[in-house]
Amino acid sequence: MRNANEGMLISFEGVKRAFGKKQVLRGVTGSVSRGRVVGLIGRNGEGKTTLLKIALDLLAADEGRVSVCGRAPDGSGEIRQLAGYVPERPAFHGFMTFAEELKLRSGLFKNWDAAAAAECASRLGVDLNMRVADANKGALAKLAWVCATSHRAELLLLDEPTSGLDALVREQVLGELIGRLQDEGKSVLIANHHAEEMGAILDEVWVLAGGAIAGVYDAEHLRRGTRMVKGRRGKGSLPSGVKAVHVMEDGALAVCAALDEESARLVVESGALENAEVTPMDFSGAMKLLLRMHGE
């Protein structure tokens, strides 16, 4: 009998983790298959970073099973040979230069590709002679990208990867770099607040809410199928079970967001909005819709 998670680059089964009395993860279950780019969204404090650190073997789960590239986290750090990681706040040794940081990694990562590192650094415009202590936030973020993508990892775990990058580089990183990784068949799990940036590259979106994966959505559907319903406040209310939420009420004006056309139709028919107008919604709005849907 084949394991249900076989072929998955990363899988979580009932993962729980608490910090003191605060239960952050209450049973996360989900998996990412090869070549997929998954966005992980959730409100602040929901445990996105915790989940990524558990996957990277930086934190131990209290309960549940984790598998990354076929390995279970064991504290040895071997998983980090297989997965690249861009942390939210990249940290390096202040007494080193960028080149020395790469050299250190070349000795520690079995599959370190110095040529790829050089090429990536060049592409991002990283000055390898710069000292870490003198580097600005953007330069550190770029270096983190170089480090994460130069050891031929099959899986990339990105925690707010564009934090600190200027708009041009952000576009370059997300549009080009991740696209290339995707083309190479690598899997990516991205936790990012700036969802609008990810719209074009995601295959799937996970919503982390209440300490668990509250919903998994196809990114293509989110890009094309979400609708916004605008109108005057009506006497009716949103029917139960409909995949839509009020996103704004301003006096007599009300706006609802619906996950798909059917939900938008039900909103219109419910009488919750009068003279309703249905329009397509952008990806950023769709992300907000998901957060509101699962946050309430």
Residues that bind other proteins (CB under 8 A): 53, 56, 58-60, 75-81, 85, 87, 89, 91-96, 104-105, 107-109, 147
Which pair of tokens denotes residue 33? 């298959």
CA dihedral 248, 252, 253, 259 (to 10 degrees): 60
C-alpha of 74 from chain center: 24
Q: Which is nearer to other proteins, 148 or 286 (CB)?
A: 148
Question: Residue 252 — φ and ψ, nearest 5°?
Answer: -85, -15
Which pair of tokens denotes residue 273? 């909005």
Q: Which is nearer to other proteins, 85 or 206 (CB)?
A: 85
Least distance to other proteins, CB of residue 248, Å: 40
The DSSP output letter for 131 is B
Q: What is the SS3 assignment for 194?
A: coil
Q: Which is nearer to other proteins, 47 or 285 (CB)?
A: 47
Least distance to other proteins, CB of residue 75, Å: 6
Half-sphere exposure of 6 (CA within 13 A, CB side): 4
Entry field: residues in the chain: 296
Q: Which is nearer to other proteins, 62 or 261 (CB)?
A: 62
What single-letter amino acid sits at 62?
Answer: D
Q: What is the SS3 assignment for 107?
A: helix
The DSSP output letter for 134 is G
Q: Which is nearer to other proteins, 4 or 60 (CB)?
A: 60
Least distance to other proteins, CB of residue 188, Å: 17
Least distance to other proteins, CB of residue 29, Å: 22
Least distance to other proteins, CB of residue 33, Å: 24
